[in-house]
Every structure is written in structure tokens, then in C-alpha cells.
Amino acid sequence: MAGDGKVLRSHYYRDAINYTYGDGFMYPLVYGLSSLMKSTDDGVKWITDPDDFIKQNMATIMKSFYAMIAGVNFDPAKVGKSGGAYNLACDLVSAAFKDEILRQHGLTP
């Protein structure tokens, strides 16, 4: 609940939420998920289930992405406007996916 007694709601689904974060923190991470997509003649497809991927890997990704956030004094506008944040998010998602593939084949990094 917000300090003024109003219920906080998510942007798109308008679900009640307990926390709110600046959009600038979220946009690069959402963009990073494009690393899990591929373009085919039939359109764009996920190369892995994004829901499962997020549940399994977001904590690890955030350990590294946190450094980007801290590096700009926790300013969501600076993170959201930084091209480096988007590149980092893509790199972190790609690395997490590669690690997942290695684990699936018994080749734990």
C-alpha cells in the first residue's frame, strides 16, 4: 500500500503489488529478454520459456545488474537512458541461458 493509503498497482494488468520500482530499472531487463527470441519465417519465437527462465535466473542476473544500478546512484532515469544497461542486460540473459544449456547437458560451468 502506498503511504497515502492507496493500493499500488502494476502498470499493465493493474494487479495489486507490494513494491514499486522506477521503470528505468525494469526496461533494460525486459529488453534483455530479447536475447531469448529468434526470428523465423513464421514470426518471432521464444527459444526457451521466458516465465521459467525468469524464475530460475533472475536472481543471478540481478546480482550483476545491481552494479549498474548502484553505479548511477540508484537513479532509474539514468539506468533507463544508459545504452550500457541494455547491452549488459542482453549479455547477462545470454550468459544465463548458455549456463542453463550447459547444466542441462551435465557440463556445469
Domain encompassing residue 82 = 23-104
Average pLDDT over residues 13-32: 92
pLDDT at 41 over 60: yes
Domain count, the chain: 1
In a domain? residue 15 = no
In a domain? residue 80 = yes
Contact of 17 with 10, CB cutoff 8 Å: yes
How is residue 56 written as a grid cell?
A: 530460475
In a domain? residue 82 = yes
In a domain? residue 61 = yes
In a domain? residue 93 = yes
What would the pLDDT profile of 69-97 be if each residue is shown by its tens digit?
Answer: 999 999 999 999 999 999 999 999 999 99
In a domain? residue 67 = yes
pTM: 0.85
In a domain? residue 28 = yes
The CA-atom distances, in angstroms, between 66 and each of 4, 56, 63, 72, 103 are 29, 17, 6, 10, 24
